[in-house]
C-alpha cells in the first residue's frame, strides 16, 4: 500500500515538473515573439518607404539628397547642417556591415581599419571623379569619451568619417531619430568614431537609437559587425545644375 502511494506521489511530482518546464518554455517563446513583433531593430524587416530627394543646390538641414552610388544603388543622404556653401551629410541608411578594426587591440579613429576602408575603398567605389571634386577633405576632431575619460586620439583629415558621441547627440535629440537600418529595411546598431570605455571598444548607436558610450569591441569574431553610416562634407560651389556637379576650375 505504501509502495503504491509512493509510486503515485512520484508520478504526480514528475507531472508537476514537466508542467512547470512547459510553462517556462511557453513564456520564453511568447516573450521572444512579442519582442520581435513590437520592438524596432534586431534585424526586423521593415516596409521600404519611397524616398523623396531634394535637389542638392536647394537642400537644407533635414532634407534628403542623392549623391554617389554603392552596390548598384544611389546613396541617400540626410542633410545634418548647411553652412555657407557647404552641406554636412550623413547616409540615410547603413551602407555596409564592417568591424571597427581588423584585430582585437586598442585603436582610435586615426589608426582604425574602418577609417582606412571608408577613405580608400568606399571613397573610390562610391563616387565619380566629378563627385570627388565636391567632397571637402575636412579636419575631424576626435574628442575623448567623456563618460570614461578614454582618449580619442589625434585629430585627422578625412574625406569620409563617422559621427562622434557628441555630434550624434547634438544632431539627433531623440533616440527614435537615431535608430537606423540597411537599405533592405533590416534594423541594426551602427558605429560612432569615438572610443568606448577603453580603446579596445568603440562607441555606437544601439538598435533602438540609444547612444552606447561603453561601446562594442573594435574586432570580435563572435559579434556581428556594426552598421556603417558615412559622413561627408559637400561643397556647393560651382553647381551648374541641380544634383549635377562639376569640378572646381
pLDDT in tens, 144-194: 999 999 999 999 999 999 999 999 999 999 999 999 999 999 999 999 999
Residue with cell 539627433: 172
Hey, what's the cell of 40? 524596432
Torsion-angle region of 57 (φ positive above 0: left; ψ -120 to 50: alpha; else: beta): alpha
Dist CA 216 CA 140 (whole Å) = 22
* 229, 180 Cβ separation under 8 angstroms: yes
Question: What is the model's pLDDT at position 51?
Answer: 75
Question: What is the model's pLDDT at position 244?
Answer: 39
Average pLDDT over the chain, rounded to an integer: 83
Dist CA 140 CA 122 (whole Å) = 18
Dist CA 161 CA 231 (whole Å) = 5
Residue with cell 556603417: 228
Q: What φ, ψ does residue 176 adopt, rounded to 5°?
A: -65, -25
- Nearest to residue 236, comparing CAs of 72, 75, 54, 98? 54
* 113, 106 Cβ separation under 8 angstroms: no
Percent of the chain with pLDDT over 70: 74
pTM equals: 0.77
Amino acid at each position: 500500500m505504501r509502495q503504491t502511494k509512493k509510486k503515485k506521489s512520484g508520478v504526480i511530482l514528475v507531472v508537476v515538473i514537466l508542467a512547470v518546464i512547459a510553462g517556462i518554455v511557453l513564456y520564453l517563446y511568447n516573450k521572444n515573439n512579442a519582442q520581435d513583433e513590437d520592438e524596432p531593430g534586431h534585424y526586423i524587416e521593415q516596409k521600404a518607404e519611397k524616398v523623396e530627394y531634394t535637389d542638392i543646390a536647394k537642400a537644407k538641414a533635414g532634407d534628403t539628397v542623392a549623391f554617389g552610388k554603392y552596390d548598384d544603388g544611389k546613396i541617400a543622404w540626410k542633410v545634418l547642417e548647411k553652412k555657407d556653401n557647404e552641406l554636412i551629410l550623413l547616409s540615410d541608411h547603413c551602407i555596409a556591415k564592417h568591424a571597427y578594426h581588423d584585430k582585437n587591440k586598442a585603436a582610435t579613429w586615426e589608426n582604425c581599419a574602418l577609417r582606412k576602408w571608408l577613405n580608400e575603398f568606399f571613397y573610390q567605389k562610391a563616387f565619380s571623379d566629378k563627385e570627388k571634386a565636391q567632397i571637402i577633405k575636412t579636419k575631424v576632431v576626435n574628442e575623448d569619451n567623456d563618460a570614461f575619460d578614454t582618449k580619442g586620439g589625434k585629430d585627422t583629415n578625412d574625406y569620409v568619417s563617422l559621427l562622434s558621441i557628441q555630434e550624434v547627440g547634438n544632431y539627433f535629440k531623440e533616440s527614435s531619430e537615431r535608430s537606423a537600418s540597411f537599405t533592405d529595411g533590416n534594423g541594426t546598431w551602427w558605429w560612432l568614431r569615438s572610443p568606448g570605455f577603453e580603446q579596445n571598444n568603440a562607441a555606437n548607436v544601439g538598435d533602438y537609437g540609444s547612444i552606447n558610450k561603453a561601446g562594442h569591441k573594435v574586432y570580435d569574431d563572435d559579434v556581428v559587425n556594426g552598421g556603417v553610416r558615412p559622413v561627408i562634407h559637400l561643397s556647393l560651389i560651382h553647381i551648374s545644375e541641380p544634383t549635377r556637379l562639376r569640378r572646381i576650375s
